[in-house]
Amino acid sequence: MKELYVVPNQYIRYAVKKAFFSVRMIRGSSVLEHRVMMLSVVKKLNNLQVDLENKEKHVDVILQSPPPSFDQFIINYNMNGLEKNLYDLINMLVQYEATIEKSAL
């Protein structure tokens, strides 16, 4: 009976990957909130021993998730050939968000 209600690992991996690749930051929400959610999904992927080929894929997904107000940051990041780990990249996004908010005042 227990086997009927067990969720297969393959489905769990699929669901977590889908969440990772489809996540988008909600306009008006904080980068910090988004960071917590993204890092939570990355941690779940690591716990499931999901290899997303390389760390560049994590960075690419994170750079695709912010709203259009972050386009200039993303262009600068890519044009300057920056290569940061996830935590450094997210901290840079938080700093950029603060800059956007200050310039809006």
d(CA 18, CA 42): 12
Q: How far is CA 25 from CA 35, 41, 94, in A?
A: 9, 14, 13
pTM of the model: 0.65
Question: Could you list the pLDDT tens digit for every one of the 105 residues in the chain?
Answer: 555 555 567 777 778 888 878 888 888 888 888 888 888 888 888 888 877 666 667 788 888 888 889 999 988 988 888 888 888 888 999 999 999 888 876
How do the domains of the chain map onto residue ranges?
A: 2-104
